[in-house]
A and B are shown apart, each in its own frame.
Chain A
Amino acid sequence: MINLAQRDITHSLGKFLTTAAGVGMLLGVVLIMIGVYRGLVDDANILLKDTRADLWIVQKDTLGPFAESSRIHEDVKNQIKAFNGVKDVSAVTFQSLQLYRNNQAIRVFAMGYDVGSFYTPHLLIEGRPLIAEHFEIIVDKKTGFKLHETIFIGRDIFTVVGITKDAVSSSGDLMVYFSLPDAQKLQFLSSNEQIRNDRARGNKDTSTTTANAIIATLYKGVNGSQLAHEIEQWKHVKVFTQEEQSTILTKNLIERSSKQIGMFTVILLLVASVIISLIIYTMTMGKIKEIAILKLIGASNAVIVKMIVQQSVLLGVLAFLAANLFSHTLVDLFPKRTILISSDALMLLVIVTIVSVLGSLFGVRSALKIDPASAIGG
């Protein structure tokens, strides 16, 4: 039997491919939106996962440095380390910075940590971790800085000793890493004029030994929640487990943003579904006369339904392929991380196939109503 769907497509191949490409671009936007959503959620946890800490000790009555302002004395780390079950600690600082490269401003999120502690950036792909206490910096690849390049930050010149890949903050800013003293200096050291001004006001404290949080790893088998509770009883601090900190990030900080993107994605998917259905319906309605002739010369409903459904599904599949090509081509152009994963693409394929079949049903319904007598005359 002649494959009518294939013959019809071949007959107007350009039109069919253009339609598939158009629908594909629309679906590509859906894929990218899903990727943006994935990126947002993933970014929120990258830094947290990278620390590989078990406990986060932050300023009392705050949610920690990611959600609220948190300041804690650096030496608290020594007291924390004295708790039974604590393996290692590191004081950490976080701050937003603006770096300049070729007069282009690059917004980054800087983390300061104790060099030599358990923490080291695990996303390092080039160079080495920080070794010196001063004037070394690790930057993310997307900042554009190269290994051994020097960067003027604050009052000092830093040398790039390491490059990370995909290291971003919860807000998607690229990460850079300093030694704790350098980071403290950048964050807490006032300018000379400010110090003189403060002294005149009677404030003689120019200490920079403050951190935003203390992160700690525990020995295997130690109950993190129990130890957190114990630390809170003894110290004037708030302690979160890694899971609690992750919840704060994903639930409190990015929930609304992710819901916003999620909603937009769902709406986009609905719009795409309606458009696909309309295109398939219009495609079918464009063949009213041919369908009437087919019915008149005796073609069964099965022959007509097969033609419409085959075309619809093929359109859906081609559009899906175009969507993947489109989204993978554009994904790297997005300033924030956009994660395209195969399970999302597979889900989209299933949805597109269902939508194509459902969309074709409208066309089939109308096609079956076409009166074969309409082929007779003019």
Chain B
Amino acid sequence: MAYAQPLKLTLLVPLEDEMKNTSQSVIKVEQLSKTYGKGENAVKAIKECSFEIFKGETVALLGPSGSGKTTLITMIGCITEPTHGKLTLDGELIYDQKWRISDTRQLRREKIGFIFQSHNLIPFLNVEENITLVPLMNQTNHLIARKKAKELLDYLGVGDKLSAKPSQLSGGQSQRVAIARSLANNPKIILADEPTAALDGERALSVMHLLKKLASEQNVAIVVVTHDERMIPLFDRILRVNDGIVSEETKQTP
């Protein structure tokens, strides 16, 4: 199994300036609510939650199935429109009773990276194309995008899989490529939905260590939806979602 190598993205991944701003808020959620349906059938999935996440932080979103974790992560990821409240991403007010930006997809392309439970790589693109797709949609120069893809893959220990198709990768390799894809657009936030669910214990731990490392080295806020209580010690903060209510859990010091 390949393990992460020290990051050497000197050319392409901004580091130094951002390292100094770890206390800067990247996600600010204020009284955010989401209600599905109307009238008697209305279901309040998220109930007026408020929290802030800062640069370089790793935050676990814990909670039982149906508690509202996915709804919360899709609202932060500008996929699901909230019903009420305010959402600020990277200092920009995104939602205040309605979307305050015209193109949520552009915001996702430019500021958010996603990691999914089952890697969700595009099967008809090879590893390099999966990674360069978003930067190229952002009009990044083709050569620069490719160079960065190579650097990311090397960093994540799957540099030899550049031309491979997702179907030729193991579960762990696929998840590493998915992580590389989420980093390709220099995001401010990475939203991960149970990224270790499809991996065995060792590989899951390896991926979580990697995310933790990325958060500190890349100065990116990482929010991870997880069921796996074993991973909790690895996170800086824990947000527990229960029946739509989000509360911050005090972390036990070992």
Interface residues of A, Cβ cutoff 8 Å to B:
1-2, 4, 7-8, 10-12, 289-290, 293-300, 303, 371-373, 375-378
Within 8 Å CB of A12, what residues of B? 124
Cα distance A232–B133 when bound, in Å?
83
Can you name the residue of chain A whose Cβ is closest to the Cβ of B121? Answer: A293
Cβ contacts under 8 Å, A8 to chain B: 124
Are A373 and B114 in touch, CB under 8 angstroms? Answer: no
Q: What are 20 contact pairs spanning A and B, CB under 8 A?
A: A1-B136, A4-B122, A7-B124, A290-B122, A290-B123, A290-B124, A293-B116, A293-B120, A296-B77, A298-B105, A298-B108, A298-B112, A371-B79, A373-B74, A376-B79, A376-B114, A377-B117, A377-B193, A377-B194, A378-B118
Q: Are the C-beta atoms of A11 and B123 separated by less than 8 Å?
A: yes
Bound complex: CA A375 to CA B178 (Å):
13
In Å, the complex CA distance between A49 and B116 comes to 74
User: Is B129 positioned at the interface, with any CB of A under 8 Å from its CB?
Assistant: yes
B residues within 8 A CB of A300?
105-106, 137
Pick the most buried of B77, B105, B108, B109: most chain A CB atoms within 10 A of its CB: B105
Q: Closest A-chain residue to B193, C-beta based?
A: A376
**Residue picked from A10, A293, A299, A376, most chain B C-beta under 10 Å:** A376
User: What residues of B have a CB within 8 angstroms of the CB of A11 in the complex?
Assistant: 123-124, 165
B120-A299 in contact (CB<8A): no
- How many angstroms between the C-alpha atoms of A297 and B110 in the bound complex? 9
- Chain B 94-133 interface 0/1 with A at a Cβ cutoff of 8 Å (1 = within): 0000000000011111101010111010111100010011
Cα A296 to Cα B137 with chains together (Å): 13
Q: Is the CB of A297 within 8 A of B118?
A: no
Q: Which of B61-111 contact A (CB under 8 A)?
A: 70, 73-74, 77, 79-80, 105-110
Which residues of chain A are near B114, meaning CB under 8 Å?
A: 296-297, 376
| Chain A residue with the shortest CB-CB distance to B106 | A298
Tell whether, in the assembled complex, residue B134 and residue A298 are in contact, meaning their CB atoms are under 8 Å apart. yes
Instruction: Say yes or no: A303 contacts B137, CB within 8 Å.
Output: yes
Indicate if B212 sits at the interface (CB-CB under 8 A). Answer: no
B167 to chain A, nearest CB (A): 9
Select from chain A the residue with minimum beta-carbon distance to B80: A373
10 pairs of A and B residues whose beta carbons are closest in the complex: A298-B109, A11-B124, A298-B108, A8-B124, A298-B105, A373-B74, A7-B124, A373-B79, A376-B193, A293-B120
